[in-house]
Structure 1
Amino acid sequence: MRKIFCFLSCLMLLASPALSEDTIKLGAFFDLSGRASFIGTPSKLVAEMLVDKINAEGGINGRKIELLMADTEGDPAKAANIATKFIHKDKVVAIVGPTLTDTGMNVKKIVDSGKTPIVMTVGGDPVIMGGKFGSFEWVFKSPQRSKIAVERLFTYLKDKGLTKVALLSADDGFGKDGLRWMEELAPAFGIEMLVKESFGARDTDMTAQLTKAKNAGPQALVVWTTGPAGAISAKNVAQLGIDLPLFQCHGLPDPKYIELAGPASEGNRMPATKLMVVDELPDTDPQKAVIQEFVKLYVEKGYDKQFPINTHSGYAWDAIRLIVDAIAKVGTEPEALRAEIEKTQNYVGISGIYNLTPEDHNGLDVDSMVMVQVKDGKFVLAD
């Protein structure tokens, strides 16, 4: 009799919703160390913040989310190993991350063969481009495409009559992606690139490239990179006494940029998410209330003290929401989940309003971005 009772008790425990078997496992990996940890670490905090919020509100149709976190260290090989573990050992339903374009590219084949949806938080477009870049059937991304950022920048340059530019771009995947789109889109906007110079993403001096750029006689300078290199280029411009407007890319709207560049950042302009200037948005903008709620929660957690709000802050939030909203509708079967994420329409997120299609696994348009400038040590809408 006692054996029967124990057997029944074990069955009841196995059926209990409190056990991990009834949770929905999501894998998340970011640069928690390495050159992009200033983006990856707050991405981790935001991911945990949102999962805690969803779980506190009852989870997804009554099921809690179990978030498995890992550090890619900015290493494409390590990211590939983590993705493999997530899929085949941990049996996650979907993955969020990583942080860098090159790292994301190393994960594409793994999620494709493992048939596991991933919403990446990388800047470059190749992760969701096919052809020579490989299948993107299982890959989505929450940050704006580089193409969209270039279109926003070129629209502004054209409106200001700044049609002759000199370009400096990093030699990594993100920099090459920006260069590719600028070369392709320049003719349509009447933009002439007088000179194109490259530099290493970890370089600490760009004076040689900037001197060549200045000598070409441009009306404006454009720099396409992320991290400290952007601030270094701004300081080099000031040191060389180059009196030309400086435009950075959409990866740099961050108080850290102003801190690193110092007075050299004043007047610098760049495309950004609306998150950077939420208080300047009209009340009619459907994103305003959503962003303000996000900022309120972020500040209440105290994250802003170490990691002030920047253009990257909402990427992990939007990535998880795209996955969670799809799970709520169709469950966790891989093919159904992938297809449902691809059908996302009118999701009002932190970084924009998402409308995905089979051809566009990002779903953000030019209107999701604004041009900002540094004024008195703060980001404001550009004049």
Structure 2
Amino acid sequence: MRGIGKLTAAVAVALMLMAGGSADAKETIKIGAFFDVSGPAAVIGTPTKLVADMVVDKINAAGGVNGKPIELIVGDTEGDPAKAVNIAKKFIYKDKVAAIIGPTRTGTGMAVKKIIHAGKVPAFMTVGGDPVIMGGEKLGPFDWVFKSPQRSSVAAKRLFMYLKEKGLTKIALLTASDGFGKDGSRWLDKLAPEFGIEIAAKEGFNPKDTDMTTQLTNAKNAAPQAIVVWTIGPAGAIVSKNRAQLGIDIPLFQCHGQPDPTYIKLAGSASEGDRMPATKLMVADELPDSDVQKPVIQEFVRLYTEQYHYDKQFPINTHSGYAWDAIMIVAEAMKKAGSDAEALRRAIEQTNGYVGVSGVYTLTPEDHNGLDVDSMVIVAVKDGKFVMAP
């Protein structure tokens, strides 16, 4: 019986070799991916998870990474930092993943930052806030952390460029009290003088608040030329609706986390004319043929809408391409450096000119995002759709 067992094993290996494979042909490259698949930010986290599946399918269909397929191990943080920490530890110490993608929000990203650094596994986050890739004694090292969405500082710069161009130099700020809102508030404060912008009023709110009339009334009393809101999720739409209800005709600008058909659906007709910085994905049809991102974005849109039909439940928004870019950059780095953690980290850090859905990425040891203001456009709501702002 023992001889038959050895013969069977030998036949199996021979068959694999005849098929052009090898004894370890089924070995996979494990990548952990955790998002807010449920919870308050599920509207962002769930489609991000779907895009992660989509891009892994694309990579595997093309032969995987150096002949090995990617195996995506998915976790749901539910928007809970404690759960995110547990999932990150599982990825690193139990699943032995080669890299991590996600999470969805800045708060959960900061919760796992130390865990990832201690575990020495490259993580490409899909969070909006900058602290995950900022260092210093307070924020800690970011050697092992990267992120695909534009920095809050880049979005703030792009918005201020537009405001200055339009002669809107006196603004009122409404910012959320969560990590993302605080990060935006910090950068808006810091960059305003550089662009000649005066912040006439500053109001805060809880992202779960359902009425912002007090904050808007206080903002209006400061006589600004524009109102700038920094939050993600339904709170931004509530501000837009309350502004219309109060009859405030001051132009309203949202942050780069709001370009999403859901925003227009929640705010309704009140959103007409609202403007905000966004990725080029939101106005793909308006891009000139000379834009190097256009073919990449068109392929992404084709897969998302025509092959996977994700748009039926989750219409494309500014967040849609973040997981695509993160996984693509990690996969390209793996092709060069393999799965050794330090070699992979260095290869990701040396990404130069990767043309993605959300921008053209050039990373450095100092910049673990690699996008600048040229990766963003200002969009406006017109007739219930996003268009390039005039």
Same fold at TM > 0.5:
yes
More divergent stretch after superposition (49-58 vs 69-78): 49-58
Aligned to 2:247: 241
Root-mean-square deviation (CA, aligned residues, Å) is 1.2
Give the counterpart of 2:380 among 357, 370, 373. 373
Q: Is the 8 A contact 2:171 2:198 kept in 1?
A: yes
Aligned to 1:96: 101
Report the Cα distance in structure 1 between the residues aligned to 2:33 and 2:73, rounded to whole angstroms. 6
Whichever residue aligns with residue 332 of structure 1, its letter is S
Report the Cα distance in structure 1 between the residues aligned to 2:277 and 2:336, rounded to whole angstroms. 34
Q: Percent identity?
A: 70
Instruction: Compute the TM-score of the two structures, normalised by the length of structure 2.
Output: 0.96
Aligned to 1:79: 84
Q: Does the residue aligned with 1:214 lie in a helix, a strand or coil?
A: helix
Give the counterpart of 2:191 among 158, 165, 185. 185
Residue ranges of structure 2 left out of the alignment (5+ in a row): 17-21
Report the Cα distance in structure 2 between the residues aligned to 1:299 and 1:218, rounded to whole angstroms. 41
* Deviation per residue, 1:283-331 (Å, 9 max, x gap): 0000001000000000021100100000000000001011000000110
Whichever residue aligns with residue 327 of structure 1, its letter is M
Within 5 Å, give how 1:256-295 maps onto structure 2.
Answer: 256-295=262-301
Whichever residue aligns with residue 182 of structure 2, its letter is K
* Deviation per residue, 1:186-241 (Å, 9 max, x gap): 00000000010100011100100000000000000000000000000000000000
Report the Cα distance in structure 2 between the residues aligned to 1:108 and 1:286, rounded to whole angstroms. 33
Report the Cα distance in structure 2 between the residues aligned to 1:79 and 1:320, rounded to whole angstroms. 19
Instruction: Compute the TM-score of the two structures, normalised by the length of structure 1.
Output: 0.97
Aligned to 1:134: 140
Report the Cα distance in structure 1 between the residues aligned to 2:4 and 2:59, rounded to whole angstroms. 37
Aligned to 2:333: 326
Whichever residue aligns with residue 198 of structure 1, its letter is G
Whether 1:199 aligns to 2:198 is: no
Whichever residue aligns with residue 41 of structure 1, its letter is T
Give the counterpart of 1:349 among 352, 356, 360. 356
Q: Is the 8 A contact 2:25 2:68 kept in 1?
A: no
* Deviation per residue, 1:137-167 (Å, 9 max, x gap): 0000000000000000000000111000000
Q: Does the residue aligned with 2:293 lie in a helix, a strand or coil?
A: helix
* Deviation per residue, 1:231-257 (Å, 9 max, x gap): 000000000000100000000000000
Report the Cα distance in structure 1 between the residues aligned to 2:333 and 2:274, rounded to whole angstroms. 39
Q: Does the residue aligned with 1:32 lie in a helix, a strand or coil?
A: coil
Residue ranges of structure 1 left out of the alignment (5+ in a row): none
What displacement does 1:53 show? 1.2
Report the Cα distance in structure 2 between the residues aligned to 1:46 and 1:243, rounded to whole angstroms. 38
* Deviation per residue, 1:10-47 (Å, 9 max, x gap): 5766963353xx10000000000000000000011100
Whichever residue aligns with residue 84 of structure 1, its letter is K
Aligned to 1:306: 313
Report the Cα distance in structure 2 between the residues aligned to 1:276 and 1:257, rounded to whole angstroms. 13
Within 5 Å, give how 1:214-233 maps onto structure 2.
Answer: 214-233=220-239
Whether 1:114 aligns to 2:113 is: no
Give the counterpart of 1:40 among 15, 39, 45. 45
